[in-house]
Structures are given as C-alpha cells and as structure tokens.
Amino acid sequence: MKMKKITNYSKFSIKTNRISFSMDNILIVGTVALDTIETPFGRVKRALGGSATYASFAASLFSKPALISIIGTDFPKEYIELMKKKGIGLNGLKTTGKTFHWDGFYEYDMNEAKTRKTELNSLEHFKVDVPQEYKSIKYIFLANIDPELQLETLRQVDKPDFAVLDTMNFWINSKRKHLMDVIKKVDVLLINDGEARQLFNTVNLVNAANQVLKLGPKAVIIKKGEHGALLFTKNKHFSAPGYPLENIKDPTGCGDSFGGAFIGYLAKTKDLSEKNFRRAIVYGSVVASHNAEDFGLNRLKNLKMSDIERRYREFQDIREF
Ligand code: AMP
C-alpha cells in the first residue's frame, strides 16, 4: 500500500471508462446499522445508519463503492433497495440474526455524540469474507468497525494502492492494541480531535498527529466537527474550515460521510498528491455538512453533484483572504 501518484489515464478514458465505471472501485468495511437518534431537533427510531452506509452513500457521489458488512433478518427491504439505487455493491453484505443497533443522542454541543446503547448483535460473530470479485479493488476504506475485522479485510485483499482508516472511542477503549496494528498498515488515518487526544494520551493535536506519522501512515486527518479538519503530512499541514451551517438537525454520520467523500474523490481522480488530498478534504467537508441538515440518511439520499459543487465554491470563497 505504497502511496503513489497515479497520473490521470485520460488517454484511456473512452475505452476504459465504461468498464471502470461499471466496476466497484472502493471497498468499504464498516457497520450497516439501525440507529435510534435523538437531537435537540427531533428523534428517529431504527433509521438506516452505520459507518459503512454513510461512507458508501457519500462515496457513491464520486465513485462506485462495494460493502463488506452484516445485517440481520430484521433489516427493512426498502433500505436494501435504497442502497441498490445508489449503485452500492452488496455482494459482501451478509444476513444473519439481528442488525447492529446504535442508540445515541446529542445535546446542544452537537460535536459530541453520546451513546446510550451499542447492541452489536450479528456483528459480534461476523467473519469477514471478501468476495473474489472485490479482492483486486485498489482503494480501501476501513470505516469504523472492530479493528480485528479491519485487519482481516486488509489480509484478504490483493494489493491495494491506498487504504484509509477511521475509528471511534468504543474501539479505542476495547481494542486498543488491534487498532494500533491497523494504524501501522494504512496510508491515512482519520480521527476526530477528542479521540486523537485519547488514543495518543496528549492534549496537543500536533503531538498526536506526529505520533501517528511515526507509526507509518503518510497522512493523518483530524476531524474537528463543525470546526473543520486538519491534515498533517510529513512536512506540511493544511486546515480546512467548517461550513457555517445554520440548519443543523443531526450530525450522525458526518465523520463517515466525510471519509466516504474523501476516498470517493481520490478514487475518481486517481491522484494521491498532497494537493489533491486538500481538495478531497474540502469535498469531504461539503458532503458532511450537507449530511447534518437532516436526520439519518435523509439528506445524502437526495444530494446531487450540483449541490456539492455549489458548496465547494463557497468553501473556496470562505478561505480567500
Ligand atoms: P459518526 O457520526 O460518523 O461517527 O458515525 C455514526 C454511525 O456510526 C452511526 O450510524 C452508528 O450506527 C455507527 N456506530 C456507532 N457506534 C459504532 C461502533 N462502535 N462501531 C461501528 N459503528 C458504530
């Protein structure tokens, strides 16, 4: 998984575009969940959610994601239909027992999700089994899930060009050692500010980022909720602003949709330079900010490229001085 700049194969675009467009080009392992969410603006019960779901909806705006995950027999058929409509590859989605269920809430500081209950259900005995046709996928997103499952996914794929990892406090607390092992194997770590402090035992985010870079990743992105995101590489750093959102209803899935859009844009442009990371981070922030405008996946399921491009231009304007 060496980070290499792959130049634009535009010469081949007419011949290969049709093939590559119809083929899954990002593999996402993570949770597909039923979420019960309460924010100061309302409540939803057993809505479609999960780290892999948000990430794949966001990635599907740019590329063609395929999932590795598990659901239960209680998972509504209409949600499967919605995923199919988004062109998400479902050959790696198993069904057994009961679907993973997360119950959480937010108070007026919407940057911090508080967990009431995490019911792992079928996830507890989930064994990763990457379908043959997905093993050659070059872009891998290890979305938030048990780090042992993230490691197993990496073991089963052929030779990815680029792997991105996300996680959360639940796994930092329960599987720290496995998590550190995965960090050593990926190109980019995505983590939010509180979790970076917790994992690296420091109050200082620059210090946390330097500790990550020493472990192996070429880049670390620290997500700061509504305050934007920071990118650290060996010699440079970049700060993306948050979008000043007035209408915010539910931030669930913002981190996952940031990650999905980030890798979706990189897989589409096939350019892994630091400069392109910056653009991908802004696309990630744009999609995440839209995601917070409504509950669950209600906003992402109708989001259009024209909405994304409009807000991307606003981001450019916010940064100019
Ligand atoms: P985010 O708000 O981007 O951090 O992620 C929210 C999503 O993460 C929700 O849809 C949950 O179903 C999912 N989730 C919550 N807890 C976990 C966990 N321990 N492992 C994986 N996914 C989780």
120: number of CA atoms within 13 Å, CB side? Answer: 8
**pLDDT reading at 51 higher than 90:** yes
**pLDDT reading at 18 higher than 70:** no
Is residue 15 one of the residues assigned to a domain?
no
| 3-class SS letters over the chain | CCCCCCCCCHHHHHHHHHHHHHCCCEEEECCCEEEEEEECCEEEEEEEECHHHHHHHHHCCCCCEEEEEEECCCCCHHHHHHHHHCCCEEEEEEECCCCCEEEEECCCCCCCCEEEEEECHHHHHCCCCCCHHHCCCCEEEECCCCHHHHHHHHHHCCCCCEEEEECCHHHHHHCHHHHHHHHCCCCEEEEEHHHHHHHHCCCCHHHHHHHHHHHCCCEEEEECHHHCEEEEECCCEEEECCCCCCCCCCCCCHHHHHHHHHHHHHHHHCCCCHHHHHHHHHHHHHHHHHHCCCCCCCCHHHCCHHHHHHHHHHHHHHHCC
Is residue 139 one of the residues assigned to a domain?
yes
- Residue nearest atom 13 in ligand 1 by C-alpha distance: 50
Is residue 79 one of the residues assigned to a domain?
yes
Domain extent for 67: 22-319
CATH number at residue 87: 3.40.1190.20
The total of structural domains in the chain comes to: 1
Which amino acid is located at 188 in the chain? V
**From the CB of 253, is ligand 1 less than 6 Å away?**
yes
**pLDDT reading at 12 higher than 60:** no
Is residue 158 one of the residues assigned to a domain?
yes
pLDDT at 208: 97
- Residue nearest atom 5 in ligand 1 by C-alpha distance: 253
Pocket test for ligand 1, best of 36, 51, 122, 169 (most atoms within 8 A of CB): 51
**From the CB of 44, is ligand 1 less than 6 Å away?**
no
- Residue nearest atom 21 in ligand 1 by C-alpha distance: 145
pLDDT at 5: 38
**From the CB of 169, is ligand 1 less than 6 Å away?**
no
Residue 23's pLDDT band (cuts 50, 70, 90):
confident
pLDDT at 133: 96
Is residue 12 one of the residues assigned to a domain?
no
Q: How far is the CA of 29 from the centre of ligand 1 (A)?
A: 13
**pLDDT reading at 288 higher than 80:** yes
Token pair, residue 40, equals 């100061």
What CA–CA distance (Å, rounded) separates 63 from 56?
A: 9
Pocket test for ligand 1, best of 168, 176, 262, 291 (most atoms within 8 A of CB): 168
Is residue 123 one of the residues assigned to a domain?
yes
**From the CB of 170, is ligand 1 less than 6 Å away?**
yes
Q: Which of 141, 118, 127 is nearest to 26 (CA)?
A: 141
| 3-class SS letters over 153-171 | HHHHCCCCCEEEEECCHHH
Residue 280's pLDDT band (cuts 50, 70, 90):
very high
Residue 1's pLDDT band (cuts 50, 70, 90):
low
Average pLDDT over residues 149-169: 96
Name 177's Cβ contacts closer than 8 Å, sequence gap at least 6.
none
pLDDT at 9: 30
Residue 14's pLDDT band (cuts 50, 70, 90):
very low
Average pLDDT over residues 188-205: 96
Residue 22's pLDDT band (cuts 50, 70, 90):
low
What CA–CA distance (Å, rounded) separates 115 from 103?
A: 6
- Residue nearest atom 19 in ligand 1 by C-alpha distance: 170
What CA–CA distance (Å, rounded) separates 202 from 301?
A: 38
What CA–CA distance (Å, rounded) separates 269 from 263?
A: 10
Name 60's Cβ contacts closer than 8 Å, sequence gap at least 6.
86, 87, 88, 260, 264
Residue 115's pLDDT band (cuts 50, 70, 90):
very high
**pLDDT reading at 196 higher than 60:** yes
- Per the prediction, the chain carries an average pLDDT of 92
Is residue 7 one of the residues assigned to a domain?
no
Average pLDDT over residues 136-148: 97
Q: What percent of the chain has pLDDT over 90?
A: 85
What CA–CA distance (Å, rounded) separates 165 from 190?
A: 6
What CA–CA distance (Å, rounded) separates 142 from 41?
A: 31
Token pair, residue 142, equals 């290890």
Average pLDDT over residues 166-185: 96
Q: How far is the CA of 52 from the centre of ligand 1 (A)?
A: 9
pLDDT at 46: 97
Average pLDDT over residues 190-198: 95
Is residue 11 one of the residues assigned to a domain?
no
**From the CB of 225, is ligand 1 less than 6 Å away?**
no
What CA–CA distance (Å, rounded) separates 115 from 105?
A: 7
Q: Which of 75, 76, 54 is nearest to 65 (CA)?
A: 54
Q: What is the dihedral of CA 33, 300, 77, 140, to 10 degrees?
A: -60
Average pLDDT over residues 280-286: 97
Q: What is the pLDDT of residues 215-261, one digit of tens each?
A: 999 999 999 988 899 999 998 999 999 898 888 999 999 999 999 99
